[in-house]
Structure 1
């Protein structure tokens, strides 16, 4: 049996190349998606893996190796390449969850709605990897962290993620009781659900934002525009879903100063934000259109951009530790802007108003300044003089 990872021409919209797994066994040949992509300069063709020069090489190569092992096990269990990853209603999570929802089981309307949302999120996650379903045995530690990253990087908080995970844990228990699988990973300590949003997510300091602003990406236009859109989100404290809907009509003058109005797609709240010169310059440069790539594409590119900017110190996020660039996503822009504003002395109400938050309590949980950062801010108050 031959298993080898390769990259595909032509490049994707963001300049990266899709990684696929070539498999050959007993005259059968197949290509399987991996859900990963890298720039050609970071691909080690001879070894069939991501070059160690790439900051996320260890994580990428671990996922590639895991895929190889799963296909090898599939063959050892008597399977055929043509049937690997096929939808199996007796042994797959999506099919079982669909059937469970349809049968209702006396569930309340609100509960059914939650189950459908969890199902749709799982389908969205799988579609990024070119798949429609996932077997019970594939619900493992790698799935847990990968799915959690996908959900959290798309603006859903820990509370929302926990709701989905609880659905998956329940249907896995029911399926196990029915004898459909023997996978007990959903009972493992690392398969966590949380009742709060305390996940110590990273934010970028003003100095780190400056590193990104000053990074010369003129020879990498795909990364340059992702960087510029990220900065626009930072300057306007916006979510991805709002940045891609920006238009020139949103801007207006008042008292000789420029402002921008928008209605948050997520909360339906109107926000008014002051427009700094750097933000206006970028908006004009892109003709007020920042809808060029999907959120997931941006997230991958921003990790590379942060690495190139030298934001590689080891940090912890949740129960994971790695270079800080590894945890940078598009939503980091909004979180960083809110936190830096607070550290510069802006009130919670001001941040909530210009950021489009409904409640001050939400902003309070959202901010990522440390207790020492807060102490330094308070040091300048008259009370401590």
Structure 2
């Protein structure tokens, strides 16, 4: 039997990598996580198999490493196997596994993602309270999933929300490295996604020209924030985070320079005169109101503006304004730029999408739009 500690060779996005214990038992190799330890390669002493003393948490991390190695050595020297060592982790509560998963990925996940995982913990606890049960990893099977789905439906949550929670449950369980034969069954079909419309340039103009007298103060402000998101191709969360430091001037032209919160990519976007006017109106502070309240306001603004083209919503047709949200601004900007002939690579760079596949889901133009755009090509002349 051979046991040693290694720094995992596949670093995370932040440059840190996991510390694992390598075990070779009669030619069978397995790696075991040392929970909570992620470090840069410069802090790892490969020869001594320890965290270098210059790391601020060296003593704590090395104590954890020693404890993990001792536990593994005792287990296998006492005749234990890989299978029954892994099974010993199955008694952990699901909520504990989720908490651990959040902690181990806190350097990788955004505040929004961490919050989403905490929402899942809350839902699991509510589910457990409703049925007077405790959910251990060993108990998570198809029946548990079916009960959870039934509970979520009873509480009025849509399929997509249930699917997202189950996806997080699955990730947390897989992180525990337990041999759970039911792990692939932890899923829920989301069903048909709700349509996500875009606004044409004419419809954007309708919102721009809606008389101020017809809007409440909050609706007026939210309309400005929506238009700013459209002009700069930003998510609402990025609009909220805007400050004066995000703007530079070059050759008498103002540019927005920021880091996309979701993808962590830098974006540089020309600032139009309309966008500049809005920014100055609020002294570059666009943080007012929550996202849910903004969505409610902009939906009402779209109704007042007469955005009433009928679009599909499930099995019925509804006025487009009913499906408008703050994110419609970003989707509309991407689609309209594409229809005006800008390269998709250029749109990707401006909006901070990670790749063209991610951008493609934003394009909402219809067949006629594409056909009209195609007329300029020689192939159709």
Q: Does 1:101 align with 2:114?
A: no
Deviations 1:308-353 (A, max 9, x none): 1111233114566422111111111100100010011110011000
SS of match in other structure, 1:252: strand
Match of 1:311 among 307, 310, 314: 307
Change (3 A) 1:134 1:207: farther
1:365 matches 2:361: yes
1:193 is matched with: 190
Q: Which one of 268, 279, 301 corresponds to residue 264 of structure 2?
A: 268
- Structure 1 residue runs of 5 or longer lacking an equivalent are 1-97, 152-160, 171-185
Q: CA contact under 8 A between 1:252 and 1:259: conserved in structure 2? A: yes
Please give the secondary structure, in 1, of the residue aligned with 2:258. Answer: strand
CA distance in 1, matches of 2:206, 2:230: 14
Q: Which moved more, 1:224-233 or 1:365-374?
A: 365-374
Closer, same or farther: CA 202–253 of 1 in aligned 2, 3 Å = same
Distance 1:132 1:228, change over 3 A: farther
Q: What's the Cα RMSD here?
A: 3.9
Structure 2 CA distance for partners of 1:353 and 1:118, relative to 1, 3 Å:
closer
The match for 1:164 is: 165
Q: Aligned pair in 2 of structure 1 residues 282, 381: CA closer, same or farther (>3 Å)? A: same
Q: 1:286 aligns with which of 282, 287, 291?
A: 282
Aligned with residue 202 of structure 2, among 207, 213, 218: 207
Structure 1 stretch displaced more, 325-334 or 308-317:
308-317
CA spacing shift, 1:193–1:247, aligned 2, 3 Å: same
Query: Where does structure 2 lack aligned partners over 5 or more consecutive residues?
Result: 1-91, 131-147, 172-185
Q: Distance in 1 between matches of 2:253 and 2:360?
A: 29
> 1:67-114: CA deviations, max 9, x gaps?
xxxxxxxxxxxxxxxxxxxxxxxxxxxxxxx9533378xxx969x989
Contact 2:120–2:168, Cα closer than 8 Å, also in 1? no
**Which residue pairs with 2:246 in the alignment?**
250
Larger CA Rg, structure 1 vs 2? 2
Normalised TM-score (structure 2)? 0.56
TM-score, length basis structure 1: 0.56
Look up the match of 2:345.
349
- Residues 217 and 165 from structure 1, CA distance in 2 versus in 1: closer, same or farther, beyond 3 angstroms? farther
Partners of 1:116 and 1:253 lie apart in 2 by 36
The secondary structure found in structure 2 opposite 1:143 is coil
Residue number in structure 1 paired with 2:372: 376
Measured in 1, the distance between the counterparts of 2:310 and 2:129 equals 33
Structure 1 pair 203–101 and aligned structure 2 pair: CA distance change class (3 A): same
State the 1:362 CA deviation. 1.0
Q: Distance in 2 between matches of 1:294 and 1:133?
A: 30
Q: Indicate which of 304, 317, 321 corresponds to 1:325.
A: 321
